[in-house]
Amino acid sequence: MEINPHNPNFYYNDLAKELTDIIWSNLKNGIKSSDGFLQWRYSNARLLEDNQWFNYNFNVVRSKHILCDYDIWASAGPDGCYEPRVSFSFVMKKGSHVKRHKIPYAELFGTVAHELHHLAQNNEENAAMSAIVYDDDDPSIMKYFLDPTEIGAFHIGFRAQSALTNESMKSIMFRYLRHQKLSKVQKQYIVEQWLNPNFDTISGNLSTGVDHETN
């Protein structure tokens, strides 16, 4: 399989579903943490140090300060052994039951796709990353949302979520931003960028992978 971020139907489809189903099943069975590894399936994108597998882990975090039913924190990058990994933390209220979590499957699916895109960007070795220019005048949250590495990942994640729910990506994006302390103009600008990524941050890592055959 090959990565084609410009294809509106591409969002790491089967791989994102496989990892989402693993996490979903664990949460539904009340399992609060787990880890494992999966095979990278994309022959045109090189994982960190030519790894053919990537690690994943998740855990449930309790907080008495969380105001909503849940929150998801996720990241992608090298683990302690300098191997590619995606990580997910699910923040829930104290006393809530993991089996009865309120996380929508489509949102989790989109989050997984988002983090898989970061693995595919291979920021640690991607030569294209050296050309990225950051605006240090942006407030921190704006700087994060408009980081070139994040724009493409947000697009892919919301594309995946939209594919499951049939809701427009634009609508999902605005809902995601609804609690951010940003002006309407700022939110509109962010959504415009998310809807129109150039995917430059992944282009430098495409067509450099080795052919990883899958069964």
Please give the average per-residue pLDDT across 111-132, as a whole number. Answer: 86
Q: What tokens does 48 get?
A: 């960190």
Q: 180: domain range?
A: 13-203
127 in a domain, yes or no? Answer: yes
Domain count, the chain: 1
Q: Within a domain: residue 2?
A: no
- Average per-residue pLDDT in the chain? 90
Q: Does 71 reside within a domain? A: yes
Arithmetic mean of pLDDT, 120-131? 79
Does residue 214 belong to any structural domain of this protein? no
Confidence at residue 93, expressed as pLDDT on a 0 to 100 scale:
86
**pLDDT bucket at 213, cuts 50 / 70 / 90:** very low
Please calculate the CA angle 33-38-40 and round it to the nearest 5 degrees: 140
The answer to whether position 20 is within a domain reads: yes
Closest by Cα among 145, 139, 137 to 177:
145
Residue 7 inside a domain? The answer is no
Check residues 70 and 57 and name the one with the higher pLDDT: 57
Query: 196 pLDDT band (50/70/90 cuts)?
Result: very high
174 in any annotated domain:
yes
In 3D space, the residue among 11, 103, 95 whose CA is nearest the CA of residue 58 turns out to be 103
